[in-house]
């Protein structure tokens, strides 16, 4: 179990450092910044790389919503859910701390908002609570469905991190203007602790909405798309199935 939790901690650390780091350090550089597209790609690449690196150990969740969605769908153990979520949150907070040290000792333009999620005044394009809620619920639900489908035994093994990483990239392309994209409560929590905005006051939504979306996605997949005797274990490869 220790190896699984360490893998989840490292994977979530990399997701926050890579994705949020791209947003804070590289997105806003005049003429050289990577923009929304670069940030979206960075988040997708973090999941893809860590799924191959440690997914065979823990299943490569790196996200409390993913762990919950897989559990609801019957592909993960309820007894391991809380420890996984704890490891993911710790990894996210540690990564945010490292990123804060880097950003606060340089000229990063995004250090104040610190890649946090929000609605209303904290939304990149001023979207309200309803729009933010619907966005996070729907996109998280589809993320869970994609993960479950990509890791099913009905598809070739070893390629799951690619569509899952691309799905996360697409999710960011859709929702960065709305909420700055969460679909991951751990990611939202880590950076909110270090932001100079009111992000902590809105953090509740970025737990409630992704977790609700995860439950919906897990139930929909289990009822409508799953087949008997097709356990999902990992978002990494065929060899890792049975570990998630």
From 57-71, 151-165, 171-185, the region with the lowest mean pLDDT = 151-165
Fold exhibited by the domain 2-238 = Glycerol uptake facilitator protein (1.20.1080)
Answer whether 0.75 is exceeded by the pTM: yes
Q: Which residue has the higher pLDDT, 104 or 88?
A: 88
Going from N- to C-terminal start, the domains of the chain cover 2-238
Q: Give CA separation, 32 vs 26, 28, 115, 136, 244, in Å.
A: 8, 8, 18, 30, 40
What percent of the chain is modeled with pLDDT above 70?
Answer: 89
Instruction: Give the confidence band of 120 by pLDDT, cuts at 50, 70, 90.
Output: very high
Q: Which residue has the higher pLDDT, 158 or 96?
A: 96
pLDDT, position 36: 86
Alpha helices (H) in the chain, listed in sequence order:
2-15, 21, 35-58, 64-72, 78-103, 129-150, 161-179, 185-192, 199-202, 205-220
């Amino acid at each position: 179990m220790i190896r699984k939790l360490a893998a989840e901690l490292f994977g979530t650390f990399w997701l926050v450092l890579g994705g949020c780091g791209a947003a804070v350090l590289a997105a806003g550089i005049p003429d050289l910044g990577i923009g929304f597209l670069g940030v979206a790609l960075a988040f997708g690449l973090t999941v893809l790389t860590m799924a191959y690196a440690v997914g065979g150990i823990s299943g490569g969740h790196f996200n409390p919503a993913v762990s919950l969605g897989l559990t609801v769908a019957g592909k993960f153990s309820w007894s391991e859910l809380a420890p996984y979520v704890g490891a993911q949150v710790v990894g996210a907070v540690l990564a945010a701390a490292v990123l804060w040290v880097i950003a606060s000792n340089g000229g990063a333009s995004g250090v104040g908002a610190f890649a946090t999620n929000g609605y209303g005044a904290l939304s990149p394009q001023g979207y309200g609570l309803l729009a933010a809620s619907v966005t996070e619920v729907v996109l998280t639900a589809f993320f869970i469905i994609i993960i479950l489908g990509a890791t099913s035994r009905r598809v070739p093994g070893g390629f799951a991190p690619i569509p899952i990483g691309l799905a996360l990239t697409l999710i960011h392309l859709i929702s960065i203007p709305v909420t700055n994209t969460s679909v991951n409560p751990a990611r939202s929590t880590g950076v909110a602790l270090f932001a100079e905005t009111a992000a902590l006051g809105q953090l509740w939504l970025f737990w409630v909405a992704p977790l609700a979306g995860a439950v919906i996605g897990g139930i929909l997949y289990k009822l409508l798309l799953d087949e008997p005797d097709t356990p999902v274990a990992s978002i990494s490869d065929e060899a890792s199935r049975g570990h998630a």
